[in-house]
Structure 1
Amino acid sequence: MDLKEQFEAAVAESKQLSSRPSNDILLKLYSLYKQAVDGDAPEEGPTGMFDIVGKAKHNAWASLQGKGSEECMQAYIDLIQELKG
């Protein structure tokens, strides 16, 4: 199984975890997924004053600026494996 197939399997497994991860872990999963699939975050994030969740997601994604797709896929896979125990 190549890295992309492993990544897709990990994404599917993320929806079947026995317990819901903490918000910090969910942000990490989100940012790794977005960086792996879409590349670097756009410079401008959500502009709504009350979009706290959107801003947190954008900031988490932007923190991975410059990381490669394969590196993020592997980190996502590793994190899902860790969460599965």
Structure 2
Amino acid sequence: MSLEDKFKKACQQLRDFTKRPPEADLLELYALYKQANEGDVNKPKPNDAESKKKWDAWSGKKGINKDAAKQAYVNKINSIAGTYT
């Protein structure tokens, strides 16, 4: 299975979770997803608190190439899937 296929499968697994993971895990997944799809953060830091958390998480992944971010996303999903499905 290609990395792209594994990534798509992991994205679907997240949508299929029956329990909500903690905010820290969701922010990590958000940041990896954005890095995998868009690369380094490319928007100015927002003003509202929730958006700032997401922006900070994504900004923390700066410099990670898209394939490495996809693999990290897959690994994260695999590590928590048993707890939330």
Same fold (TM over 0.5): yes
Q: Which residue number in structure 2 is paired with residue 70 of structure 1?
A: 67
The alignment yields a C-alpha RMSD, in angstroms, of 1.0
- Residues matched between the structures, number: 82
Deviations 1:3-61 (A, max 9, x none): 00110110011011131100000000000000000000026211x3xx10100000000
Percent sequence identity over aligned pairs:
35
Query: Map of 1:1-85 to 2, 5 A cutoff?
Result: 1-42=1-42, 44-46=44-46, 48=47, 51-85=48-82
Q: Secondary structure at the match of 1:15?
A: helix
Q: TM-score, normalised by structure 1?
A: 0.91
Aligned residue identity for 1:41? V
Q: TM-score, normalised by structure 2?
A: 0.91
Aligned residue identity for 1:6? K
Moved over 6 A (4+): none
Would you tell me which structure has more helix in proportion to its own residues?
2
- Give 5+ residue unaligned stretches, structure 2: none
Counterparts of 1:31 and 1:84, CA distance in 2: 18
